[in-house]
């Protein structure tokens, strides 16, 4: 019995992924879906900048492909074109600090035997989409809560102050901005691969909670990067020029800390904290 205790302790410490948590997230998401034979509706939404000095953009229950990017040649704070089934909800609150919420109304179904049916009906439908534009002139916090389908977030032109992505079912591609100031980004993996690009000049704290699928992060050449990884089944791979300051001596492992030379002295730092799931982290 005593020989098994260290193994149990190691398992508890390193393995942080929760299927229960993923199930709860998917349950909230699937509650927004109806049957595949429902009529596809289209709608457009817009909100001017007005007196806004900052904004929070909350997107939830996305079904189909979603593309988010900075607006060009527009005086609006927010624009969206949506093709959807079911019902949508659009609300705006505040004047100088605006909160904009766009999402599908929840219907309250359980995951159970629904998930395979839902994925087959909705995940690859190109007639369902969200096209979202956000002003590049106003500091914004962006939240995306769940999706069934492909996610394309090109936030490179935004004045992003914070990002929170709660993954659903489908592949996710994310391009982060270099804003001139440090910001926080949290990515909670769902079911599907995630691809994250960090541009030159960015300074941020990036927290990644792994789901079911690999995650790759592209960092700029010469950037000051520190990676702290905890657990996961797929392991962690980093470039050869990173120095491992905690954990084993190689560049592939399940847990550890890696840094680029001179990280602590750099003006702009990229900090990546990875909590593993089913699928590894690869930094390139």
What does the mean pLDDT of the chain come to?
82
Q: Which helix (H) or strand (E) holds 25?
A: helix 19-30
pLDDT for position 24: 54
pTM equals 0.82
pLDDT for position 276: 77
pLDDT for position 126: 73
Residue 205 CB-density burial (10 A; 0-12 exposed, 13-18 middle, 19+ buried): middle
Round to the nearest angstrom and report the end-to-end CA distance of the chain.
42
User: How would residue 257 be classed by pLDDT, with cut points 50, 70 and 90?
Assistant: very high
Give the total residue count for the chain.
284
Average pLDDT over residues 53-66: 92
pLDDT in tens, 201-242: 999 999 998 778 889 999 999 999 999 998 667 788 899 999
Decide which of 8 and 165 is more confident. 165
Average pLDDT over residues 140-155: 91
Decide which of 10 and 69 is more confident. 69
User: How would residue 4 be classed by pLDDT, with cut points 50, 70 and 90?
Assistant: very low
pLDDT for position 89: 94
Q: Which helix (H) or strand (E) holds 41?
A: strand 41-48
pLDDT for position 125: 67
Enumerate the domain spans of the chain: 19-283
pLDDT for position 121: 54
pLDDT for position 6: 39
User: How would residue 17 be classed by pLDDT, with cut points 50, 70 and 90?
Assistant: very low
Decide which of 148 and 215 is more confident. 215
Decide which of 90 and 28 is more confident. 90
Average pLDDT over residues 126-132: 90
Nearest to 252 by CA among 220, 280, 218: 280
How far from 258 is each of 18, 24, 106, 263, CA to CA, in Å? 25, 32, 42, 10
Answer whether residue 152 shows pLDDT above 90. Answer: yes
pLDDT for position 148: 81
């Amino acid at each position: 019995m005593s020989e098994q205790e260290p193994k149990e302790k190691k398992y508890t410490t390193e393995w942080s992924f929760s299927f229960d948590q993923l199930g709860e997230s998917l349950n909230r998401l699937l509650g927004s879906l109806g049957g595949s034979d429902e009529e596809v509706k289209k709608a457009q939404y817009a909100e001017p900048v007005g007196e806004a000095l900052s904004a929070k953009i909350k997107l939830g229950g996305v079904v189909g492909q979603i593309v988010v990017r900075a607006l060009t040649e527009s005086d609006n704070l927010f624009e969206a074109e949506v093709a959807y089934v079911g019902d949508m909800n659009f609300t705006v609150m505040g004047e100088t600090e605006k909160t904009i919420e766009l999402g599908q109304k929840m219907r309250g179904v359980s995951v159970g035997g629904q998930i395979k049916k839902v994925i087959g009906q909705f995940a690859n439908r190109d007639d369902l989409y969200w096209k979202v534009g956000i002003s590049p002139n106003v500091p914004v916090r962006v939240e995306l809560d769940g999706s069934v389908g492909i996610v394309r977030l090109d936030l490179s032109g935004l004045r992003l102050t914070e990002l929170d992505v709660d993954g659903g079912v489908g592949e996710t591609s994310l391009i982060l901005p270099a804003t001139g100031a440090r910001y926080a980004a949290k990515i909670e993996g769902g079911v599907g691969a995630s691809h994250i690009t960090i541009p030159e000049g960015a300074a941020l704290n990036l927290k990644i909670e792994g789901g079911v699928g690999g995650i790759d992060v592209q960092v700029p050449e010469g950037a000051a990067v520190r990676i702290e990884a905890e657990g996961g089944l797929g392991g962690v791979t980093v470039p050869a020029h990173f120095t491992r300051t905690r954990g084993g001596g190689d560049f592939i492992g399940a847990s550890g800390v890696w840094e680029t030379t001179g990280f602590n002295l750099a003006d702009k730092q990229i900090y990546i904290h990875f909590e593993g799931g089913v699928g590894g982290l690869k930094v390139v």
